[in-house]
Structure 1
Amino acid sequence: MTSQTLFSEPVQLRVSRPATSDLTRRFFFLVDAIARDHEPTATQLDRLASSYESTAQFLANRDEFEGLLLKIHPHGSRQLGTMVRPSRSTHDGFDVDLIALLSADARRRYMSSSGPALLLNDFYRALKDYADSHSLSIRRWERCVTLGYTDGMCADITPVIDDPLLSAPYGQTHALIPDRELMRYDSTNPLGYAKHFNQAAAIPPAFRGQLVMAKAMDSAERAEVVPLAEADEVFSRLLCRFVQLLKLHRNSRFSASEDLKGLAPTSVFVTTLAAMAYTQLAPLEHDSPLDLLLHMVKTMPGLFPRTRLTNGAEEWNLPNPSAPKENLASSMNRTGRHEAFDGWITVLTKDLEKLLKAVEQNLGNDVLVSIIDTAFGTRSANALQAALSKVRDSNRSAGRVSIVTAAASSRILPARAHSFYGD
C-alpha cells in the first residue's frame, strides 16, 4: 500500500490544520477498526449470557444456596463496555467477570471468622459439580472461581453478600466480598461502580466546530466517506473506547515477559483514572477526541494522592467511588509497580503524540499502521490495515477515489441499541 491516506486529502493539498470534524471522523475510523477486533462478537456474548443464566439456575437449586442467591450479573469490563481480548497467550478467548449476589440472609451462615472460607468452599464445590456435568474446566482463586469454556472464553464468578450502605454514594448496591486471605470481608460495589462509570461516560465531549459541522453537513459536497459507526452511538461510547485503547496499549507494553505482566497497572486502576480525567476534561473544548485522550493521559498521574512513607517509599490511594473504604490502588502498592506505571504513562504520552501528529498532518496509512503496531500491538495494526484495505478495495470496485476530503462530514443519526454492555 502506498502512503496515500484514506482519511483526508493527500499531504501536498493540505494548507491548514484539518477541521475538528475531520479530525474527529479520522479518530472514529481508527479506534473502531482497532477496538472492534478486540471485542467479543454478539454471538460469543449471547452464548456466554446463556451459560451464566444456566449457572445461576444451577446454583439457585443447590441446597447450600437455597433461598439465598439473588442473581448472577456481569461486572468489570463486561458491564462497562470496555472489554478487550486478554494479552495472555494461553487462550484466545475472553475473560468475563461475573458476580453471584447472595441475599443479606447469607450473613447468618457466612459471617463467622471462618465464614469467608466456608463461602468460597461451598461456592467452589457447587460449581465443580456444574463444571463436571458440562465438561468445563474449573479453577479456584483467592476470591473467585473460574469456569473455562471450550471456545476459550473464561468466566470468573465471585460470590458477594448483599450489604446496603445507604449513607454512602451508590450504597443501595453495596456488598461484602471475601478478602484475599479469607479471614474477613471487604467492601465492594460492582453495580455502583458501573453506575458511576456510566455517569462519566454520559458527559458529552466538547469539540471545536462541532455545531458548525452538524449544521453544514447536509449542504456539503461529499467524496466517498469511509464506513463509520453512527455519530451519536460513538459519542455515547467515547469513554469506553478511550479505556479500551489504554488497556490495549498497556497489554502491548507489558506483554514481553511474565515479569513485566506482573508490573502492569490493573484494569480497575486505569479505568477509574480514565473516568475521573474524562469527567474533568470532556466539558472543555478540544480539537479532536485524540487531543482529549492525550490530555486525559497527562492528567491521570495527578488524580490520586501519593503519600511518602518514612522508609522513602510511596503509598498510593485511590478510593473506590462506590465503596470508599476500598483502595483501588492497593494492588499498585507492590514492588516495582509505581515506577512501571509512571514509565508507562511516559511512553503512552509519546505514542499518542506521534499518532496525533500522523493524523493531523496526513502522514499516510503506512505511517499510521506502523505507529499502531508499535503502540498497540501487531493485532491492532493488522486490524487497521484490514479496515483500510476493505475501504480501498470497495472504492476501487465502485470506481471511486480512495480519499475523504476535509469537506466531507459524518451524518448525525439515532444511536443503535447495544446488547452487550450489561444492565
Structure 2
Amino acid sequence: MFHDHRLVMRDGMLIGALDRMCATLEIAPSQAELAKERYDGVGGWLADAEDPLLKAMGIFLQGSTAIGTTVKPIGSNEHDVDLVAHAPNLGHWVEPAALKKAIGDRLKANGHYKPLLVEMARCWRLVYANEFHMDITPSIPNRSCHMGGELVPDRALKIWKPSNPKGYKALFLERVKLAPRFRVTKSLHTQDRARADIEPFPEQVHFKGLLQRVVQILKRHRDVFIAVNEIDISLSPISVLVTTLASQSYEYCVRTFIYESELDLLFDVIRHMPDFIETCRVDGQMQWFIWNETTKGENFSEKWNGDPKRAEIFFTWHTRALADISRLKDVEGLDGLKRQLGDAFGSAPAKAVIDSITDDISTSRQKGTLGIAPRIGLVTGITTATVTPVRANTFFGR
C-alpha cells in the first residue's frame, strides 16, 4: 500500500525543516576555510622543525570536519576541528609521550601559537576563542594494517593504539554516495494515485548527503538529551560510535529496502543502529564491540566494557531519539513543529528553523506561490491541482 502523495509531501517538508536545522548547527564554509588556513600554517611550522621526530610531518583533518558532520557543541560557539599530525618515518621505537612532547615544544616556540595552546591527555589543543579549537593528535604508520592505518597514543600515552582516520573517512564518504530508493507518485496531477515508480535519491532531494544529515541530527539530539537529563558529559556516547552505527545502518537500509520518504528512511536508519553492535558474555559480564571496520583492534565501545552505565545511557538515548523522530510525523502547524523541534533539538535551532520557514512563506506570498495543501499545511513554490492558492493578503495559519 503506497502512501498518499500528500503525506509524502508532508514528510518532505519535515525533512526540509531538519535540513535547515542542521545547516544552522554546522561549521560555516567561511569558518572551515579559515580553519584550513590555520592548520596548514601549523603543519608548515611543525614540518620546518629541526627536531628529527618532526621530519616530514604532515597534518590532515579527521573526524566530523573531515566527513561533513559537524555540530556546534551546546553552550559554546566553538566547533571542534580534529587534526592528525602524522610522522610517516617513525615506528614503534618512538614513545607516544616523546612524540607528543616534541609537537608541544615546537608549538610553544611560536609566539603566535603559544598563548592559544592547551595540553590535553592525548593531544594538543589550539583554542581560537568563539570560532573553533583544533585538536592535534600525533600518529605514526601502522605497518601491520593492510588498509593503510595508523597508530595513535592511548590516553595514558603509554602505548600506541590502532586507528585509521583516512580509511574511516573514505568508507564513510563511499556510503554517503549510496542512493536510497523511493516510491514516488508519477504525477500529482494524475488521478491514478497508486501508480508509482522507484526513482533514485539525487533527483528527489536538494540537500547534501542524507547520511551526513542523519549523523548531525543524532549528534544534536544526543547533546540535548545529555544536557536536559543532566548526565555527566563524559558518559555521553562518543561521536565516532554514533557515526559508525549510523553509517552501517544506512548502508543496510539503502541496500535492503524501498522507502516512501526520506523521513521514513531516517527513522529506519536510527531503528537499525543497535543491530550493528556485537555482544558476548565474558565471565558472566556483557561485553560490547563496535569495531572500526578500517583497521584491526579498534573498538569504539571499549569504555562500555569497563563501565556498563555508558551502554545503558546509549540505549536510553537511542530509544528517546527514535520516539522523538517518530513524533515529528504527528505535528500540527508551525507552532507544533517549533515545539517538537525545540524539545528534541533545543529552542535556539528550532526558532531559527521556524524563522527561516516564515521568511520563505512571506516571500512566496509576495510572489503569489504560497498554497495550502490538504493534510500538509502551508507549502511554498508549488502549484498543483491539489494545492489551494492563498491570496497575498491572507495571513497563514492564524
Equivalent-residue separation in structure 1 for 2:118 and 2:380 (angstroms): 54
Q: Does 1:38 align with 2:15?
A: no
- Matched with 1:240 is 212
Q: Does 1:327 align with 2:314?
A: no
Return the offset for 1:282.
1.4
Match of 1:176 among 151, 169, 184: 151
Equivalent-residue separation in structure 2 for 1:175 and 1:232 (angstroms): 39
Q: Does 1:85 align with 2:63?
A: no
- Matched with 2:281 is 308
Relative to 1, partners in 2 of residues 1:150 and 1:298: Cα closer, same or farther, differing over 3 Å? Answer: closer
Equivalent-residue separation in structure 1 for 2:282 and 2:352 (angstroms): 45
Relative to 1, partners in 2 of residues 1:136 and 1:256: Cα closer, same or farther, differing over 3 Å? Answer: farther
User: What SS class does the counterpart of residue 294 from structure 1 fall into?
Assistant: helix
Return the offset for 1:404.
2.1
Equivalent-residue separation in structure 2 for 1:258 and 1:347 (angstroms): 15
- Matched with 1:225 is none
Contact 1:176 1:185 (C-alpha < 8 Å) held by counterparts: yes
Deviations 1:81-138 (A, max 9, x none): 0011012x2x3121110111111x222xx625xx1111111111112233x4246421
Return the offset for 1:399.
4.6
Contact 1:20 1:209 (C-alpha < 8 Å) held by counterparts: no
Equivalent-residue separation in structure 1 for 2:207 and 2:243 (angstroms): 18
Name stretches of at least 5 consecutive residues in structure 2 with no aligned partner.
190-201, 372-377, 385-398
TM-score by length of 2: 0.84
Relative to 1, partners in 2 of residues 1:118 and 1:366: Cα closer, same or farther, differing over 3 Å? Answer: same
Match of 2:87 among 102, 107, 122: 102
Equivalent-residue separation in structure 2 for 1:355 and 1:154 (angstroms): 34
Match of 1:251 among 207, 223, 229: 223
Return the offset for 1:258.
6.2
Equivalent-residue separation in structure 2 for 1:120 and 1:298 (angstroms): 40
Equivalent-residue separation in structure 1 for 2:336 and 2:205 (angstroms): 28
Equivalent-residue separation in structure 1 for 2:52 and 2:212 (angstroms): 35
Return the offset for 1:309.
3.4
Equivalent-residue separation in structure 2 for 1:255 and 1:406 (angstroms): 38
- Matched with 1:272 is 244
Return the offset for 1:232.
7.1
Q: Does 1:195 align with 2:170?
A: yes
Equivalent residue pairs, number: 362
- Matched with 1:71 is 58
Equivalent-residue separation in structure 2 for 1:391 and 1:371 (angstroms): 20
After superposition, where does 1:292-371 map in structure 2 within 5 Å? 292-310=265-283, 312-333=284-305, 334-358=307-331, 363-371=332-340
- Matched with 1:208 is 183
Equivalent-residue separation in structure 2 for 1:120 and 1:321 (angstroms): 27
Relative to 1, partners in 2 of residues 1:303 and 1:134: Cα closer, same or farther, differing over 3 Å? Answer: closer
Greater displacement, 26-35 / 46-55: 26-35
Equivalent-residue separation in structure 1 for 2:300 and 2:8 (angstroms): 37
Task: Give the superposed CA RMSD.
Answer: 2.5
Contact 1:68 1:106 (C-alpha < 8 Å) held by counterparts: no
Relative to 1, partners in 2 of residues 1:233 and 1:106: Cα closer, same or farther, differing over 3 Å? Answer: farther
Contact 1:18 1:406 (C-alpha < 8 Å) held by counterparts: no
Equivalent-residue separation in structure 2 for 1:63 and 1:233 (angstroms): 51
Relative to 1, partners in 2 of residues 1:145 and 1:357: Cα closer, same or farther, differing over 3 Å? Answer: same
Relative to 1, partners in 2 of residues 1:294 and 1:40: Cα closer, same or farther, differing over 3 Å? Answer: same
Relative to 1, partners in 2 of residues 1:81 and 1:65: Cα closer, same or farther, differing over 3 Å? Answer: farther
- Matched with 1:141 is 120
Deviations 1:263-316 (A, max 9, x none): 211100000000010000013111111111111212111211122333x54211
Deviations 1:317-352 (A, max 9, x none): 111011121111113332411111111111111111
RCO comparison, higher one (Cα < 8 Å, 6+)? 1
Q: Does 1:159 align with 2:138?
A: yes
Identity of aligned residues (%): 27
Contact 1:79 1:194 (C-alpha < 8 Å) held by counterparts: yes
TM-score by length of 1: 0.79
Return the offset for 1:23.
4.3
Contact 1:20 1:207 (C-alpha < 8 Å) held by counterparts: no
Q: Does 1:58 align with 2:45?
A: yes
Equivalent-residue separation in structure 1 for 2:113 and 2:224 (angstroms): 34
Deviations 1:27-62 (A, max 9, x none): 442122100100111111111111001101100111
Equivalent-residue separation in structure 2 for 1:232 and 1:94 (angstroms): 31
The letter for the 1-side match of 2:183 is: R
Contact 2:142 2:151 (C-alpha < 8 Å) held by counterparts: yes
Return the offset for 1:356.
2.4
Equivalent-residue separation in structure 2 for 1:150 and 1:395 (angstroms): 39
